[in-house]
Amino acid sequence: METTELINVSQHTDKLAETDQPVHDLIKSRWSTRSFREEKISDEKLRLLFEAASWAASSMNEQPWRYIYAHKGSSSFDKMAECLMEGNYKWAKDSAILILSLAKKTFTRNGNINTHSFHDVGAANTTLLLQAVNEGILGHMMGGYDKDKTIQTFNIEDDLEPVCYIALGYPDEPHKLDQPFRDREIGKRSRKKIDEIVTKL
């Protein structure tokens, strides 16, 4: 897919990552929007995103990721939104879908603690979000939520632990957002330089 197609879909040309290396357009075009159009995401499209997530790498091929989700307009969506911290609730309530990603704490084969489960769920979430970009959809992962309320509300079993919520939808213009979210939406993206995060031995 060409860069221009991704930009036209996202409607935010200033959000395309300015990279020093020729990074793939899907990666450059992925960012965490807070502004969503009032447009539904079909179950067929959502299954595509979850299948993409299922092909992420994982320790011992355990595939510890689990997901629950709800469409906007349902009582389950409202319950999920009410588990978010206020700063996330204010904009995430307007997304098309809310997803809760969870990690299976133990290995199925022996019951031992899987210390890599959160890492692996993060890999699956990122894979989901990259596939979403390819479909013209953006997502925003959120760590700001009430964990205990989430567990109680959705009767999360003991061997699962919430990782993060994800708001999904087709992106809209930033002007519809209240402050301070509007300024954050139009703010320039930045990343640490490679030399700050990589060391050659």
Segment 11-54, tens digit of pLDDT: 555 688 888 889 899 999 999 999 999 999 999 999 999 999 99
Q: What is the DSSP letter of 107?
A: -
Residue 158 to residue 163: CA distance in whole angstroms: 14
Number of domains in the chain: 1
pLDDT value of residue 165: 99
Residue 59 to residue 82: CA distance in whole angstroms: 33
* Residue 5 lies inside a defined structural domain of this protein: no
Q: Is the dihedral of CA 42, 100, 197, 181 positive or negative?
A: positive
The predicted model scores a pTM of 0.90
Task: Give the CATH number for residue 148.
Answer: 3.40.109.10
CA 20 to chain centre: 25
Cβ atoms of 35 and 172 closer than 8 Å: yes
Give the residue numbers spanning the domain of 98. Answer: 22-174
Inter-axis angle of helices 117-134 and 43-54, nearest 10: 140
Instruction: Identify the band that residue 2 occupies on the pLDDT scale cut at 50, 70 and 90.
Output: very low
* Residue 9 lies inside a defined structural domain of this protein: no
